[in-house]
Structure 1
C-alpha cells in the first residue's frame, strides 16, 4: 500500500500577499478567549471563485461572506446523495427569495462541476461491505474481529442505525409538512382573491 504524498509547491507568486513581512512581536504570547455565546461557525470556507461571486452579488443585494458561507453550509448539510430542490432550499435558508435563488443556482452549478461531490470535505471512512480496505485515503477502518465485551453490556449497533434512520425520516416529514403548510396557505389566498373578484363583478 502506497500512502499518497503531495508534491512540494514551487510557485511563490502569492507568497508575498499571503505572508507579508510585517510581523511584530506581541506583548503577550498566551491569549485566552473569553467564553461567549457566539453562533457556531459554518464548516464551509469560501474560495477565490466564491469571493468573486459574492462581490458581484453585493452590487445587487446585501450579503456578507459569512452569510454566504452559512447558506452554502446549510445547503450542503441538507443534501445527501440527492440535492435539495429550490423549494426545500427556501425552507432551509429562510431568507429573501431572490437571494436564495441566486445562491442556490450558484451552488447547483458548483456541485455539478465537482461531479456531485460534497463541497465540504469529509473524513473518508470504510464502506460497510469492507470493499475500500485498499484505499489509502480511508481514515478509520473497522475491526476485522468483533471486540469481546461483557455480557451485561449490550452494544446493539442495529438499534443505533434504526434510530438514525428514524431521525432522518422525521426530518423529512417535518420538511414535507412545512411545504404542505405553504401550499395550503397559497390555496387559501387564491380562494380569497377569487371570491373578491366574484363579489366585485
Structure 2
C-alpha cells in the first residue's frame, strides 16, 4: 500500500503557476488524507529566549488571515481587453540595459 506524503518544493519563478477556476478544483475530502504537518525543528535559540513574550506572539499568530484585495466585476470589458490581451506572452527579461562601452560620452565642462 502506498503512503501519501507531501514534499515541499521551491517555487521556480521561470515557470508559470497554474490558475484554476472554482469548478476545476478537486474536492477537499479527496486530499484530506495527505499529511501536511511540518516536523518540529530546533529553533537555534536558548530556552530562555524561546519563552519571550514577543516571540511567542509571533509564533502563535500562524492562524491569522493574510489580507487580499477584493475581487470585483469589470464594468468596462473593452478597457480590460486592451490592458490584458488574451495572447499575452511573458517577456524573457523585464529590465533592458544598453551594454557598457569603454568610450562613454562624457559631458564637457567649462570650469
Structure 1 length-normalised TM: 0.16
Greater length-normalized contact order (CA 8 Å, ≥ 6 residues apart): 2
